[in-house]
A and B are shown apart, each in its own frame.
Chain A
Amino acid sequence: MHATEALVEADRLMTLCNSCRYCEGLCAVFPAMEMRNSFADSDLNYLANLCHSCGACYIDCQFSPPHEFNINVPKTLARVRGESYAVYAWPGALSGLFARNGLAISIAVALSVTAFIYGFASAPAFSAPQSGAGAFYQIMSHNAMALLFGAAFLYAMLALTLSVRNFWRGIGGKAAPSDSSSVWEAFRDAASLRYLDGGGAGCLNAEDAPKDMRKHYHHATFYGFLLCFAATCIGTAYHYLLGREAPYPWYDLPVVLGTLGGIGLIVGPIGLLIAKARRAKILTEERQLGMDVGFTVMLLLTALTGLLLLILRQTSGMNALLALHLGVVFALFVTLPYGKFVHGIYRFAALVQYAQEQRAGGAPGLGLE
C-alpha cells in the first residue's frame, strides 16, 4: 500500500511512535503525528519534511537500535524526504535529476562555464584587464547577461513554484493558506530553525552529546545567501533604475552586502560539509549525500568565485574569474529546482500546514500510566 520501502518503514515507525509519544516535546513531527491514526504516503511525506534531522529523538528513544523495535526516525524520514522531492517535482519528467544530482550539477557547471568562456572569447577586449564603470559589460553585454540569467531564474522560480504546489496539494494543504498568522508562525519557525534544536536541549551530530553547530552554519549559509541575493537585486535596481553600472566601489551597498553574504556563504557551507562528514553513521542517509554535498559545494563555489572576483577585479584574471563566477551562478540557478535547495521550500510549506493544523486542534487523547 506504500510506494517505497522507506515509506513502509516510516509507517511502521510512526505507528510505534504514536503509541509512545515521549518525543512530543522535541519538535513538530510528533505533535503532527499525534493528529493521525494512520499514515498514508502523503502524511509521511508531510512528516518527513517537518523533520529537521536534529537527531534528538534517536538518542532519546528507548527503542532505537540495538533494541528489536529498531526505531530510527531521523534516518528513515531523511530517506522519505529525499524521495518526496522527486515525487512532487515539476515537470515530473525531470524528477530523476534528484537521484543524479551530484553529477547533474557538475555537468551544469561545466556547460555553463564553457558557454560563458565561449561568449567572452568573441569579445574584443578579452585579454586586457578591465576597469571603470561598465568594465564587466565589455566582456558580456549587460542585456545579454540579464536575458540569460533572467531566463534561468524565471525557469527556476516556475519549476519551484509548481513543485511546491504539488507538494502542498499532496500533503492536503488548503487551496490557499488563507490564515496569515499560520504563515507568519511558519516563517518565524523556519527563519530561526526552531526545530533544529532537540526541543531546546540542542542537536546531535557526530556524538551522543548535543554539541552540534549545524544550526549556526545553516544560519550563516541561509542569511549569507539572502544577502548575496539582496546584493544582486540592488545591483539590478542600480543598473536599470539609477543607471549606475557595475563594478561598484567597495563601500557601495551591493558590494557590502555581497561581501558579507559571501563570507557567510563560505563559512556556512564549509561548516555544514564538515558536520556532514562527521555525522554519526547511524543517522546518515547515504543515498542523498551526493545531492546534499552537491548543493552545498555550489553555494561555496558561488561565494568563493564572487569574492575572488571582488579582490582580483583590477587584474588580468578578472575575465576568466567573471566567466567562472557567472558559470557557477548560472549552474546554481538551473539546478535549484532539482536539488537540495527545495528542502527549504518544502519544509516551509510543511511548517505552514503544521501551524494551521495546530490551530485547528483536535489531537485524539492517549491514556496514561
Chain B
Amino acid sequence: MVDLTKTFDVIVVGGGNAALCAAISARRNGASVLVVEAAPKFYRGGNTRHTRNMRCAHDHATDTLTGPYPEEELWTDLLRVTEGHTNEELARHMIHESKEMLVWIAEQGVRFQPSLGGTLSLGRTNSFFLGGGRAMLNSLYATAESLGVEVLYEAPVVDLELDGATFRSATVQIRGERKRVRAAAMVAACGGFEANIDWLKEYWGAPAENFLIRGTPYNRGDVLKMLIDRGVEKIGDPTQCHAVAIDARAPKYDGGIITRLDCIVFGIVVNKHAQRFYDEGEDVWPKRYAIWGRLVAAQPDQIGYIIFDAPKMKLFMPSCFPAVEAPTLSDLAEKFGLNPTALNDTVAKFNAAVRPGTFDHTTLDDCRTEGLKPDKTHWAQRIDTPPFYGYPVRPGITFTYLSTKVNKQARMLMADGRETANMFAAGEIMSGNVLGRGYAAGIGMTIGSVFGRIAGREAALNARN
C-alpha cells in the first residue's frame, strides 16, 4: 500500500516509456518516486503499448542494427519529416543523447531483436523491442519496481496545485476518492489528447466524432490542459494530429497497429458518393501514408472506400479484417451502401483513362491515368478482373502535436518565459518541441526515452536541493 501522506521527491504523472524512464532515472539518482498512471494495469503505458522500435543515433553496427546511423543523418531525417518545424538546439541535444540511450535502456532490462519480416528497411536506423512495446513496458515496470519506485494504477490526476512556477501537489483520483499527493518535483509524462473527442472537436468540429483512436481511451490530455491553463508555455499546432487511414471496422479505441491498410496505392479510393478525391499513386507507401487520414477526414461522413480487383490481392500483406469481396462492382457497392451506378461510372472512367505502362509497385512506375480530376500518377491499372475487393477506411488518430515547452533539462517553461522551479516534461506531452509536424518511425520513443531520462535525473537533482 502506497503511503500518500508522505512527501515524495518526485511524482511522475503517466505510465508509458517516458514516464518509466523518468521514474527509473530519478530513482537511480536517489529520489523517492511515485508513478501515477490513469489507466488500469493492462492498459498501462498509453501509446507505448503500440510501439515497436526506437530511432537512436549510433556510430557502429551492433548485434541488432545493420550499420551506423550518424547524428547528422538522424538530424537530416528529422528536419525533412518535420519540414523544419523543430527546435534545432533541443533536437540536436536529443539526438546526441540518443546514442547513449541504446545502452542505457538495455541496462533497464529492455531487449532488442534484429529487424525481421517486412521491416528490414529500418534495420540500420531503428532498434526493435523484442516482443514489441508492451514487452518493453513490462521490462521497465519490473526494473522500476525492483528499484523501489511505487506505482498506482487507475489513478488519474484531476488537479494540480501550482504556486506561480512552482509545483506543490497533485490531486489524484483513487477508487472514487480525491487524494492530494505532495512531491518536491513533478514530471509530466502523460501524453497528448488524441483520445479526447471533445477536445478534438474544438478544432475539427463534428467530423471528429467519426475519428477512430488508435491508442487507449486514457490519452485524454487532462494534465496537458491543466498545465497550459496554469500558465505553462505551449508549443506545437493544437489543431494538428497524426492521422492515417485505417480500417473503418476497427474498434473506436486501441485498435493499434493491426488496423492499418497499406493497399491504397493498388486501387482507387472513393468517398460515400463513389467519387475519387485524391491521387492514390502520388508516392510510395509509407511516405504518403500519413496524409490519407486527413484526406478521408475531409470527405462527407469521414469515410472512404479502397476499391481494387483480384490481381492486386496478393501484392500486400493481409490486415486484421478481411477485404469485402463481391463478384461485380455493383454488388461491392451495395455491400458498402454506395450507389452502384455511381461506382460503376467512376471505375469505368478510371479504366478508360489508364495509359499503358510497366507495373512495378516497388518504384514510382509509369502506369498513370490521363485526363482525370484527380489523375492517379503511378501504379494505375484497370480495375476489371473479378472478384472485386474493398476496404472501408476512416481517419485513425495516433497522436497530437500540442505540447508544453521545455528546455534542454526537460524543464517546463512558463508562458512569460520563466523557467519553472520543479516541473519537467517528457514524451508526447513535449514532443512538439522537436517534432512539430510529421513523423518518422520510432522517433516518439526516442523523444520519450531521452527526455524521460533527463527529466527524471533533473527532477531528482531538483528535489535534493
- A201 and B254 contact, CB distance less than 8 A: no
* Chain A interface, >50% SS class: loop
B191 is an interface residue with CB less than 8 A from chain A: no
Report chain B residues within 8 Å CB of A365.
Answer: 117-118, 120, 317
Complex contact B138–A59 (CB within 8 A): yes
Assess whether B318 is in contact with A368, with CB atoms less than 8 Å apart.
Answer: no
Interface residues of A in 343-369 (CB under 8 A from B): 363-369
On chain A, the residues within 8 Å of B131 by CB distance are 22-23, 25-26, 56-57, 60, 198-199, 201
Verify if B111 is at the interface (C-beta below 8 Å from A): yes
B206 at the interface (CB under 8 A from A): no
Residue ID in chain A nearest B135 by CB atoms: A60
Contact pick for B52, options A22, A26, A367, CB 8 Å: A22
Select B320's contact among A15, A208, A367, beta carbons within 8 Å: A15
Q: Is A37 an interface residue (CB 8 A)?
A: yes
On whether the beta carbons of A67 and B258 are closer than 8 Å, the reply is no
25 interchain pairs (CB within 8 A)?
Answer: A15-B320, A18-B317, A18-B318, A19-B318, A19-B319, A21-B117, A21-B118, A22-B135, A23-B131, A24-B113, A24-B117, A31-B116, A34-B117, A37-B318, A59-B135, A60-B132, A62-B50, A62-B132, A63-B256, A367-B260, A367-B262, A367-B289, A367-B317, A368-B119, A369-B441
- A241 CA to B42 CA, complexed, in Å: 64
Q: Output the least CB separation between B21 and chain A (Å).
A: 19
Contact B256 A62 (CB under 8 A): yes
Is A66's beta carbon under 8 Å from chain B? yes
Does B121 count as interface, using CB distance less than 8 angstroms?
yes
> Which residue of A has the minimal Cβ distance to B244?
A369
* Contact indicator A367/B132 (Cβ below 8 Å): no
Interface pair A364/B317, CB less than 8 Å apart: yes
Rounded to whole angstroms, the CA-CA distance of A363 and B135 in the bound complex is 24
In the complex, what residues of A have CB within 8 A of residue B50's CB? Answer: 62
Residues 27-51 of chain B, each 1 if its beta carbon lies under 8 Å from chain A, else 0: 0000000000000001000000110
Q: Digit string of A24-42 for contact with B (CB within 8 Å is 1, else 0)?
A: 1110000100100110000
A209 touches B111 (CB 8 A): no
CB of A200 within 8 A of chain B? Answer: yes
**Does B42 lie within 8 Å of A368, measured CB to CB?**
no
Residues of A within 8 A of B132 (CB): 20, 22-23, 60-62
Q: Which of A67, A68, A201 contacts B135 (CB 8 A)?
A: A201
Instruction: Flag if B49 contacts A367 (CB, 8 Å).
Output: no
Measured in the bound complex, the distance between the Cα atoms of B262 and A69 in whole Å is: 21
The docked-state distance in angstroms from the alpha carbon of A190 to that of B441 is 36
| Known contacts A60-B135, A201-B131, A363-B117, then 12 further A-B pairs from the complex at CB < 8 Å, ordered by chain A residue | A16-B320, A19-B319, A24-B113, A56-B131, A61-B132, A62-B134, A63-B258, A201-B139, A365-B317, A366-B118, A368-B118, A369-B260
4 tightest A-B CB contacts, nearest first: A366-B118, A22-B132, A25-B113, A60-B131
- Interface presence of B158 (CB below 8 A): no
* Interchain CA distance A61-B254 in the complex, whole Å: 13
Q: Which residues of B are found within 8 Å of A21, using beta-carbon distances?
A: 116-118
Q: Given the complex, which residues of A lie within 8 Å of B120, measured CB to CB?
A: 365
For window 233-266 of B, CB contacts with A under 8 Å fall at 244, 251, 254, 256-258, 260, 262
- Smallest distance from the beta carbon of B82 to chain A beta carbons, Å? 17
Shortest distance between the CB of A311 and any CB in chain B (Å): 44
Question: Is the beta-carbon distance between B138 and A19 smaller than 8 angstroms?
Answer: no
B154 to chain A, nearest CB (A): 13
Q: Which of A20, A62, A200, A201 counts the most chain B CB atoms within 10 A?
A: A62
A23 to B111 CA separation, bound complex (whole angstroms): 13
Given contacts A60-B134, A62-B49, A367-B316, contact A68 B251 (CB under 8 A): yes
Tell whether, in the assembled complex, residue B116 and residue A24 are in contact, meaning their CB atoms are under 8 Å apart.
Answer: yes
CB-CB under 8 A from A34, the residues of chain B are 117
